[in-house]
Amino acid sequence: MLSQLRHLIAAAALAAFGLTAGPAPAAAQAPERPLVLETIELEGATRTHRATALHAFPLREGDEVTPTQILDAVAALRDAELFSSVDFRTSRGTERGRFVLHLIVVESGVELRFGTGYRDLDGWYLIPAQLRLDNRLGRGERFRLQAKLGYRTSGVEFIADDPQFGDGRNAWELMFAGYGVDQPYFLDGVEYRHSLGRGSLGFRVSRDLGPARVGVGWTFEVVDPDSSARAFEDDPFRGISRGERLEFADLPSPVASVVGERRRSVFHAQVVHDSRARRLRASTPVSGVWGKLRTASHLYEDGFTSHGAVTVDLRAYRATVGGALALRLRGGAVGDAAPFYDRFHLGGLYTIRGYPTQSLSPPEGDTRFWTASVEYRAPLVGRPDRPRLLGFLFLDVGDGWERGNHDANETAAAVGWGLRLTVPWIDSLGADFGIPVGPSSVDEAFHANAAIGWNF
């Protein structure tokens, strides 16, 4: 009921806003007439500084704006999570063609949340429990202690950050985290899972330069791979049962050589560009690109062992007949001294979906890789922009290798289709079905992946 009431208030506010422009044009599809935003009034902000709120609000006093731009700007302020709720209304300005925008907010309190889902550009994860102390000083800072469950990852993390400090274009983040990770690999056609622990303390800063955001950071890490692995599936032909241990003496030598606790400092820098449209079709931006270039240098506690890494991730989106196209290109290189948990592994949900997880790479991983994916997404049930059910077709191509040992004939490809069902707070649930184009490490005509959210 409260949600419906808010929608009615927003609709009434937009209607009132439209009336200030005079009679509506006769043509139903006439372009929106912009009006001058004379003043922005912030109502209900008992703790948050006005400048902090306006940093997160894209419109400025004196701008010529349309109703659609107002809705988008209010949505951006909500997304900033400075307040527990954000609504708005409009009133007439000092003269015809001008108006006052009233932002009606409720300050955030101390929150304890359970069972929330979250998606970022690297994937989807579940937060079973989260303690939030956001914006306590009124300057946009956030403090969060949370449990986290992700793709083969689980742990606890504490995050303190401010996404818009200073002039609103700077951000900083301090994180302390501990995770358990299951690293899969195939050995003689059998899938194993190798557990490792990760603890980290990191700090990073970034600045929005307009077309891109540039950031640098430092992280101290402790990584501790187990001295054995576990079979993830039964293999009657080889007499192996699920859960059976692969002892240290039988581990692949590149894996066994890095077993045990290792401490290191990681210095990293990245550049991120984002021009994706807010408007959606088939839950996909109707236009725009997103890209990230990241470099890292890993220096171990002995002061002599080190390796570097560079990765590129590019994504493009385009509305098309009946739906939308999504394209992703990735590539990377890592130093030869990198351990198996820092290398690249191909196969599975996030790379080439016609093959089992990481089955296209050796247990120690690859030091070079590239992948390309294209998807055509179309709504099946519900609204065209955010359908309740949608389907898609995909093509994945990629290759991984070690430096100096590249064979272009080993490029792998898969074609397939999938479904996504929109579910409250989880975002979406679905499945991908990929058909391998070429030999596979397992005997199957297709490979299915359960999915939460989107791959890109």
**Cβ-count burial 423-454 (b if 16+ within 10 Å, e if not):** eeebbbebebbbebbeebbeeeeebebebbbb
Compute the distance between CA of residue 394 and CA of residue 433 in angstroms, rounded to an integer. 9
Quick one: 131 and 92 in the same domain?
no
Quick one: 54 and 136 in the same domain?
no
CATH number at residue 43: 3.10.20.310
Domain that holds residue 50: 2-107
Quick one: 13 and 134 in the same domain?
no
Give SS3 for 188.
Answer: coil
Q: What is the pLDDT of residues 38-75, one digit of tens each?
A: 999 999 999 999 999 998 999 999 999 999 999 999 99
End-of-domain residue from the set 85, 107, 129: 107
Quick one: 219 and 309 in the same domain?
yes
Q: Which range is least confidently modeled, 159-173, 186-200, 381-395?
A: 159-173
Quick one: 282 and 401 in the same domain?
yes
**Structural domains of the chain, count:** 2
CATH number at residue 230: 2.40.160.50
What is the model's pLDDT at position 117?
A: 66
Quick one: 87 and 232 in the same domain?
no
Quick one: 92 and 226 in the same domain?
no
How far lies 420's CA from each of 349, 377, 391, 430, in Å? 14, 10, 6, 4
pTM of the model: 0.83
Q: What is the pLDDT of residues 199-240, one digit of tens each?
A: 999 999 999 998 899 999 999 999 999 999 999 989 888 899
Quick one: 119 and 75 in the same domain?
no
Using CA of residue 374, residue 193, residue 311, residue 219, what is the dihedral sign? positive
End-of-domain residue from the set 107, 136, 167: 107
End-of-domain residue from the set 107, 129, 150: 107
Quick one: 371 and 437 in the same domain?
yes
Q: Which range is least confidently modeled, 111-125, 340-354, 441-455?
A: 111-125
Give SS3 for 285.
Answer: strand
Quick one: 263 and 311 in the same domain?
yes
Quick one: 175 and 100 in the same domain?
no
What is the model's pLDDT at position 445?
A: 87
Quick one: 173 and 250 in the same domain?
yes
Q: What is the pLDDT of residues 238-259, one digit of tens each?
A: 899 999 999 999 999 999 999 9
pLDDT at position 26 over 80: no
